[in-house]
Amino acid sequence: MNQHVPANAPGLENYWMPFTANRQFKAAPRLLASAEGMYYTTVDGRKIIDGSAGLWCVNLGHGRRQISQAVERQLSTLDYAPSFQMGHPIAFDFAEKLAGMSPGGPAAQLDRIFFTGSGSESVDTALKIAIAYQRAIGQGTRTRLIGRERGYHGVGFGGVSVGGIVNNRRVFPQLPGTDHLRHTHDPARNSFSIGLPADGAELADDLERLVVLHGAETIAAVIVEPIAGSTGVLLPPNGYLERLRAICDRHGIILIFDEVITGFGRLGTPFATDYFGVMPDIVTTAKGLTNGAIPMGAVFASRRIHDAMMNGPPDQIELFHGYTYSGHPAACAAGLAAMQIYRDEKLLTRGASLTDHWQKALHGLRGLPHVADIRAIGMLAGIELTPRQATPGTRGYEVFLHCFERGLLVRLTGDIIALSPPLIIEPAQIDEIATILKGALKRVA
């Protein structure tokens, strides 16, 4: 076992780990034992600064007693209740609170909330809502779903189908009829951009090509991440999302923003929808919704979409869809407590005051060995490394390991180091992250 793992650590054979090279990990495991604020503690007592908010989700920092106490109270009062043909007050309370802070503000009317158990479930829910809506308004031929290359929308069959990560798609069959826009990553024109890339808004016109190819009457929805997080923080060119919105409007296509990563303060605004000022029809969320404390997701649908599905007989189920854990009482309690912390500590907008420091610290790594590009926006960043020709991904993995050994957890995606620290981060901790990264980048050949 790894030298940092105590002799009394648990056996590792039985847990089949997700998105992990299991044999490689179990030969040299990295185990976290506790967490508080900005830091994890390993099983051997080392402090690790959390540079990735867990998996993009612990926006409020770790160990929030307000959340754990709310969950404990709820479990002692009502541990579980079904949401099929039944209800419990806390789910309605949480939905009302979320509606009051919904993407785009009151004018956008994205305030009809469907609860799920994860980001993957939120995506599949949004796709089904879009198709059901088109059918409800007499557009039943619109069943095709359009994603984008290098997009990540979870691991359900719907999410994999509209997603654009090749390794997610190689093994598993996809829904028939899906198609993809080209991605927006253009290093030849936009490397080391400060803020949004200047070039590439015309890539949105790829949707017009797909309309001509398939016919608008077959397309139900387009789903994109405003910022593609899991493939390395790929930024939309200036004007791209506005152009995509206009094309969707022109052809009656539902626009879905996947904000599982960008929701809840990540860009210094409550949602990326607010940051870009572009209003989709549906927004998917999860991760920061409960600060990662209990799995939960929420889909924000516009009133227009919701109300169009409420015109049939009142005793019929309008959307034949849901999950055992939709609106789980304990998850709602965690979410309500998290929303209160966001409000009390102004963390939905705090990132805006840190952006300049964040940009300077990370763009200060330009010129270090193998750094091909740096992208930073809000409290997100991607540092792209030149891959080794014979073994792509190994250089990024070595940087990840060096960072962990020196006390920093980062997110790894191929040869891209992704960063999304908790929103409670202080400028000195930003500098600490940059210093550790600088040392790690210098060490990797």
Contact predicate 199/190, CB 8 Å? yes
Domain range list for the chain: 31-60+346-443, 69-344
Query: What does the pLDDT look like over 191-227, one tens digit per residue?
Result: 999 989 999 999 999 999 999 999 999 999 999 999 9
pLDDT of residue 1: 41
Mean model confidence pLDDT for the chain: 96
d(Cα 365, Cα 442) in Å, to the nearest integer? 10
Q: Please determine whether the domains at 31-60+346-443 and 69-344 fall in the same fold group of CATH.
A: no
Q: What does the H/E/C string look like for 27-43?
A: HCCCCEEEEEECEEEEC
pLDDT of residue 72: 98
Query: What does the pLDDT look like over 127-182, one tens digit per residue?
Result: 999 999 999 999 999 999 999 999 999 999 999 999 999 888 899 999 999 999 99
Q: Which residues contact 268 (CB under 8 A, 6 or more apart)?
A: 275, 349, 350, 351, 352, 353, 354, 355, 378, 379
d(Cα 164, Cα 167) in Å, to the nearest integer? 9
Which residue's entry shows tokens 């253009």?
186
pLDDT of residue 9: 66
Q: Which residues contact 16 (CB under 8 A, 6 or more apart)?
A: 22
Burial class (CB in 10 A: 0-12, 13-18, 19+), 13: exposed
pTM of this structure: 0.96
**DSSP secondary structure string, 22-91?**
HHHHHHS---EEEEEBTEEEETTS-EEEESSHHHHT-TT-B--HHHHHHHHHHHHH-S----SS---HHH
What DSSP character marks residue 202? G
For the segment(s) 69-344, the CATH number from 3.40.640.10, 2.40.30.10, 3.90.1150.10, 3.40.50.1100 is: 3.40.640.10
The b-or-e profile of 141-179 (16+ CB within 10 A means b, else e) is ebbbbbbbbbbbbbbbebbbbbbbbeebeeeeebeeebb
pLDDT of residue 127: 98
pLDDT of residue 87: 97
d(Cα 175, Cα 157) in Å, to the nearest integer? 7
Which residue's entry shows tokens 């088109």?
134
For the segment(s) 31-60+346-443, the CATH number from 3.30.1330.200, 3.40.47.10, 3.90.1150.10, 3.10.20.740 is: 3.90.1150.10
Torsion of CA 254, 378, 332, 53, to 10 degrees: 120
What DSSP character marks residue 172? S
What string of pLDDT tens digits covers the 445 residues of the chain? 455 666 566 789 999 999 999 999 999 999 999 999 999 999 999 999 999 999 999 999 999 999 999 999 999 999 999 999 999 999 999 999 999 999 999 999 999 999 999 999 999 999 999 999 999 999 999 999 999 999 999 999 999 999 999 888 899 999 999 999 999 999 999 999 998 999 999 999 999 999 999 999 999 999 999 999 999 999 999 999 999 999 999 999 999 999 999 999 999 999 999 999 999 999 999 999 999 999 999 999 999 999 999 998 999 999 999 999 999 999 999 999 999 999 999 999 999 999 999 999 999 999 999 999 999 999 999 999 999 999 999 999 999 999 999 999 999 999 999 999 999 999 999 999 999 999 999 999 7
- Cα distances from 200 to residues 151, 186, 196, 206, 383, in angstroms, run 17, 8, 10, 11, 20
